[in-house]
Amino acid sequence: MTHLKSPAPRQVIRARPADLLVFLAVAFGCAWLAAIPLWTAPPNAPGAALQITLAGMQLSPTLAVLAVWLLRRDNARMWARDTGLTFGGRPGRVLGVTALTWIAVPLVVAATIAISALVGVFPTDLATLSGYRQVFPQSTHGFAATGLAIALVVYPLLFAIGAFGEEWGWRGWLLPRLMPLGQGRALLLSGVIWGVWHAPLTVTGHHYPGLGWWGVPLFTVACVAIGSVLGWLRLRTASVWPSVIGHAALNGTMPALYLVVSDARHPADPVLGGVFGVVGWVVVGGIALLLTTRRWAEPA
């Protein structure tokens, strides 16, 4: 009997213009609808509205994928394969890359904090943990270390649900359909789209307090850098799961690391320091260039 192997996941997919329009219309439209609670919330009570907006926005790219699938009525197994839901035919490698990503992301965040502190745009207070003690007044260094360890291990799992909502759309569905433009252009364009999609959050000061619309192009630069790394993971493994864990690890561990080292008396400058600031652009952008321009750059 001849055993036929299942076809390899496609990394370059030519999409119909109508599919791209539907995807972007649903992703952006649902994101702005999800932001209504944030826009209409009283200034002194934004917490719940922000959480509702975040949950709704993160779901919108997945809704966009499902909308295109419902219009096309493609085979569900092929659709899952071509949007990265499988393990790309090499589960061991996908799991290994996912594990390395889980470890590497907090290290990269820590590196951006350290460099930002050295150049004076991210003041830190490891001696008294003044920033951390603003939130946990009775905490000790041991308490902070334990909390940080839990965050590094547990938070990527907790944040993976929301990260999947984004990654299945941006890296799972959209990126392979931009690949006919070439890998560099596809990563650049998908990052720009991802950054602009964040506008409902960015204009309210979520990423750069007080900047309003001026924060959108700044955050778009950060999204191009971060999205290029997440996109490389997707293309290299033919699976969306390393990107999901990378995204979740960033969202989950970055606030925890920031909180532990922050100086309550001298807040960091988010435009210059940290992952989303100029230092982050250089560090993460450098990693993206290294990954995408060396011998390991080609998709699997």
Percent residues over pLDDT 70 in the chain = 93
Mean pLDDT for all residues in the chain: 89
Q: In the structure, what pLDDT confidence band is assigned to residue 147 with cuts at 50, 70 and 90?
A: confident
* CA–CA distance, 133 with 155 (Å, rounded to integer): 20
**232 close to 187: Cβ distance less than 8 angstroms:** yes
Question: How far, in Å, are 16, 26, 159, 287 from residue 207 at the CA level?
Answer: 34, 23, 18, 22
> Terminus-to-terminus CA distance in the chain, angstroms?
29
Query: Cα angle vertex 146, ends 145, 149, to 5°?
Result: 85
Q: In the structure, what pLDDT confidence band is assigned to residue 51 with cuts at 50, 70 and 90?
A: confident
Q: What's the pLDDT score for residue 279?
A: 97
Q: What is the pLDDT of residues 84-124, one digit of tens each?
A: 999 877 888 899 999 999 999 999 999 999 999 999 999 99
Residue 4 has pLDDT above 80, yes or no: no
> Helices in the chain by DSSP H: which ranges?
17-34, 36-40, 47-72, 76-82, 91-118, 130-135, 141-158, 160-167, 175-178, 183-197, 199-202, 215-237, 241-261, 278-293
Q: What is the pLDDT of residues 151-179, one digit of tens each?
A: 888 989 999 999 999 999 999 999 999 99
Q: What predicted TM-score, i.e. pTM, was given to this entire model?
A: 0.92
In terms of Cβ atoms closer than 10 Å to its own Cβ (0-12, 13-18, 19+), residue 107 is exposed
Residue 3 has pLDDT above 50, yes or no: no
The answer to which of 164-168, 176-180, 194-198, 291-295 has the lowest mean pLDDT is 291-295
Q: Between 283 and 152, whose confidence is greater?
A: 283
Q: What is the pLDDT of residues 209-229, one digit of tens each?
A: 889 899 999 999 999 999 999
